[in-house]
Amino acid sequence: MKKTALITGASNGIGLELAKVHAAKGGNLVLVARNKSKLDELKNELENQYKINVYTIGKDLSQINAAQDVYDEIAKQHIQIDYLVNNAGFGDYGLFTETDWDKELQMINLNITALTLFTKLFLKDMVQRGSGKIMNVASTASFQPGPLMSVYFATKAYVLHFSEAINNEVQHKGVTITALCPGATETGFQAAGALDDSKLFNGKKLPTGKTVAEFGYKAMMKGKAVAIHGFLNNILARSGGLMPRGIIVKITRMMLDKVK
């Protein structure tokens, strides 16, 4: 029987690549993003290539109750979600005193609130059935504070800790929750977050969204609690606890500063 995956933020980047990975396995899809026309283009491509069913929902998940609306629509369509991938998210760059509050509120609503509500709604169904997998896309930003991206780093720390805690709660109920923690990746994220000129991205050869998606999908299928992409990212993430936090913050600030 084909498994159906719900993927948010599926119109580009890692989300789009995750949709392709799941489709290539012969699975059906529910794709959610603001840009429905892009989703419909992807729907046609995947249905023609893999002979699967793809249902698209155009929705801005940063809006209050958007996650509930999506859940209700899927229920009306009598679609069972076997895998939930909370991928949608965005960041912003700049001093906290100078960044835009409305944008940060949307970031919190998307990165935290929508992800949490989706997890609650679909997890209840999965636990009742005794099967299911959830992948929440966190970040290597989850492991330390991030000056110049303070709200984004904080939201990703939430995603990591929330995912680990809920995974522990359901580990004997046939359901697993994976926190995928990519580092800097070649997607549209850096342009959207005005990060192109930061030392983290500028002049760096970065892994592709496809590479990260394939890694994350395998980790989800294996039921790994935390999946950090890249050898160096693993070392950096896990070594944070060995250094004073003040030094960690300074190093992160140095990495995020603009190239002069």
Distance from C-alpha of 69 to C-alpha of 212, rounded to nearest angstrom:
29
* CATH code of 240's domain: 3.40.50.720
d(CA 122, CA 132): 9
Q: How far apart are CA 51 and CA 76, in angstroms?
A: 23
The pLDDT, as a whole number, for residue 254 is 87
Catalytic residue among 50, 152, 158, 217, which?
152
Task: Tell me the whole-structure pTM to 2 decimals.
Answer: 0.89
* Domain residue limits at 167: 4-256
Cα–Cα distance for residue pair 120/135, rounded to 1 Å: 13
Paired sense of beta strands 28-33 and 4-8, if any: parallel
Does residue 152 have an active-site annotation? yes
Total structural domains within the chain: 1
Check if the beta carbon of residue 138 is closer than 8 Å to that of residue 179.
Answer: yes
Place of tokens 């780093």: 153
pLDDT recorded at residue 46: 98
Q: What average pLDDT values come out for the chain (260 residues) when binned by 10 residues? A: 96 97 98 98 98 98 97 98 98 97 98 98 98 97 94 98 98 97 79 52 75 98 94 73 74 78
| pLDDT digits 0-9 by tens, 91-121 | 999 999 999 999 999 999 999 999 999 999 9
